[in-house]
């Protein structure tokens, strides 16, 4: 037993050293997920704010219309394209989706009518059919602003009204889904693409064949790889986690112990897929297409890049049994919802079930050459 333990720790150290000497492996395991984090994090950083890319065409000479244009240019809701000065130019840009809508203030807009002391007029919002929902939202926002002005001049009677009230309950934002998905993406890349790229190369160089001539057993080699990959995985996850906390102000709501344990279990399960694919493939031509065939469905169906609740019910049911789905769901429950060990037992059970199946297949198909 002591001899087996020494063999396992020796190979684990060798595998870890080989990883940190491989610049390409470091890039795709640590740097590449960090790049995704910064890109998706920047896209979700302004979550909750509504803005529209619009052109404002002022055909009126009234002072009120001029004030409206000046206020629109400084508005946080409206991003006015100052280079567009005609409706024809705006229409072309709307066709190319460069503009969400165009606000036209027709001639006479804001003029004071005879017998009154307040401005009047009707602004027109032009939009294309593919931007109908956004244009309706923009129209509603403009009408609310005009209602405030109208109330200053005319007393309005509103027998029916509606008011919004917060429940004070925290909810997930887009970055919460992005963070858990990116951690799942990092674990998938670490567990699958690592051994899929390394094992065929070791077979090609004859290294695994030489290992086979030693007393080294398959299970010892597997355990050594899992240990080294778990260490590397924690290093990569720590880089993602600290970047999310420092830059995007992610708040860890769950237990760090539960989080680390769950991440190690996830790495153990997903790495079995890489062991099975890399151990079976004789060369890169066999490994690459097979790994893509296995990983791409999980990337798009396991909630990695967008929430699963957006999928049809039947697809949610099917995707719930993919190995990566409990990884992403469990990380989200722990980190962003503060769930404990008992709360993620269903995800852990599914991962353990997949581990049994995956490693049985990996032992069955593994070859030294």
Region 164-173: what's the mean pLDDT? 55
Q: What is the per-residue pLDDT across 268-324, written as a single tens digit (0 to 9) for each?
A: 999 888 888 877 777 777 777 788 888 888 888 888 877 787 788 888 888 889 999
In which band, very low, low, confident or very high, does the pLDDT at 167 lie, cut at 50, 70 and 90? very low
**146 is written with which tokens?**
């005009």
Q: What is the pLDDT of residue 347?
A: 94
Q: What is the pLDDT of residue 334?
A: 92
DSSP string for 114-180: TT-SSB----EEE--GGGHHHHHHHHHHHHHHHHHHHHHHSPPP-SS-------------HHHHHHH
In which band, very low, low, confident or very high, does the pLDDT at 160 lie, cut at 50, 70 and 90? low
The residues near 63 (Cβ < 8 Å, ≥ 6 apart) are 110
pLDDT above 50 for 157: yes
pLDDT above 60 for 102: yes
**Where are the strands (E) in 20-77, listed by range?**
52-58
SS3 content of the chain, % helix, strand, coil (to 5): 65, 5, 30
For residues 260 and 137, the model is more confident at: 260
pLDDT above 80 for 50: no
* 69 in Cβ contact with 61 (< 8 Å): no
Q: What is the pLDDT of residue 96?
A: 80
**302 is written with which tokens?**
């396991």
* 175 in Cβ contact with 247 (< 8 Å): no
pLDDT above 80 for 351: yes
Q: What is the per-residue pLDDT across 103-116, written as a single tens digit (0 to 9) for each?
A: 999 888 888 877 67
Order of strands across the sheet that contains 52-58: 78-80, 52-58, 101-105, 124-126
Rounded to whole angstroms, how far apart are CA atoms 308 and 301? 7
pLDDT above 60 for 46: no
Q: What is the pLDDT of residue 324?
A: 92
pLDDT above 70 for 171: no
CATH topology of domain 52-152: abc type-2 transporter like fold (3.40.1710)
* φ, ψ (nearest 5 deg) of residue 160: -115, 140
* 84 in Cβ contact with 54 (< 8 Å): no
Strands 52-58 and 124-126: unpaired
In which band, very low, low, confident or very high, does the pLDDT at 344 lie, cut at 50, 70 and 90? very high
pLDDT above 70 for 44: no
pLDDT above 70 for 60: yes
Model pTM greater than 0.75? Answer: no
Q: What is the pLDDT of residue 170?
A: 59
For residues 45 and 120, the model is more confident at: 120
In which band, very low, low, confident or very high, does the pLDDT at 159 lie, cut at 50, 70 and 90? low
DSSP string for 58-71: E----HHHHHHHHH
Query: What residue ranges of the chain are covered by domains with CATH 3.40.1710.10?
Result: 52-152
* 229 in Cβ contact with 186 (< 8 Å): no
Exposed e or buried b per residue across 243-271, where buried means at least 16 C-beta atoms within 10 angstroms of its C-beta: bbeeebebeeebeeebbeebbbbbbbbbb
Q: What is the pLDDT of residue 162?
A: 60
Q: What is the per-residue pLDDT across 221-251, written as a single tens digit (0 to 9) for each?
A: 788 888 888 888 888 888 888 888 888 878 8
Q: What is the pLDDT of residue 246?
A: 85
DSSP string for 321-361: TSTHHHHHHHHHHHHTT---TGGGHHHHHHHHHHHHHHHHH
Region 330-349: what's the mean pLDDT? 90
**287 is written with which tokens?**
């490994």
Strands 101-105 and 124-126: antiparallel
């Amino acid at each position: 037993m002591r001899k087996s333990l020494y063999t396992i720790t020796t190979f684990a150290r060798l595998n870890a050293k080989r990883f940190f000497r491989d610049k390409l492996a470091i890039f795709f395991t640590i740097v590449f997920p960090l790049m995704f984090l910064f890109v998706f994090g920047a896209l979700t950083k302004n979550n909750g704010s509504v803005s529209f890319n619009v052109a404002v065409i002022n055909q009126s000479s009234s002072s009120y219309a001029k004030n409206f244009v000046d206020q629109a240019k400084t508005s946080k809701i409206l991003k006015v394209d100052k280079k567009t000065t005609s409706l024809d130019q705006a229409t072309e840009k709307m066709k190319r989706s460069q503009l969400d809508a165009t606000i036209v203030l027709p001639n006479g807009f804001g003029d004071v009518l005879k017998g009154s002391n307040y401005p009047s007029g009707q602004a027109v919002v032009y939009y294309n059919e593919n931007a109908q929902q956004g244009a309706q939202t923009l129209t509603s926002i403009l009408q609310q602003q005009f209602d405030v002005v109208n109330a200053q001049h005319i007393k309005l009677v509103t027998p029916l009204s509606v008011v919004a009230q917060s429940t004070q309950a925290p909810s997930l934002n887009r970055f919460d889904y992005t963070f858990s998905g990116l951690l799942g993406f990092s674990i998938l890349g670490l567990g699958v693409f690592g051994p899929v790229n390394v094992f065929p190369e070791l077979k090609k160089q004859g290294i695994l064949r030489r290992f086979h001539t030693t007393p080294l057993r398959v299970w010892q080699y597997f355990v050594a790889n899992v240990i080294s990959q778990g260490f590397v995985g924690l290093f990569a996850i720590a880089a993602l986690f600290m970047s999310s906390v420092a830059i995007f102000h992610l708040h860890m709501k769950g237990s760090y112990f539960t989080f680390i344990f769950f991440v190690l279990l996830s790495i153990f399960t997903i790495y079995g897929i890489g062991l099975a694919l890399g151990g079976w493939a004789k060369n890169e031509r066999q490994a690459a297409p097979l790994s893509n065939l296995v990983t791409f469905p999980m990337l798009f169906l396991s909630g990695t890049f967008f929430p699963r609740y957006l999928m049809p019910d039947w697809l949610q049911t099917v995707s719930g049994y993919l190995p990566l789905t409990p990884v992403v769901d469990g990380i989200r429950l722990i980190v962003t919802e503060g769930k404990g060990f008992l709360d993620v037992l269903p995800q852990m059970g599914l991962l353990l079930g997949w581990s049994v199946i995956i490693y049985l297949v990996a032992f069955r198909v593994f070859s030294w050459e």
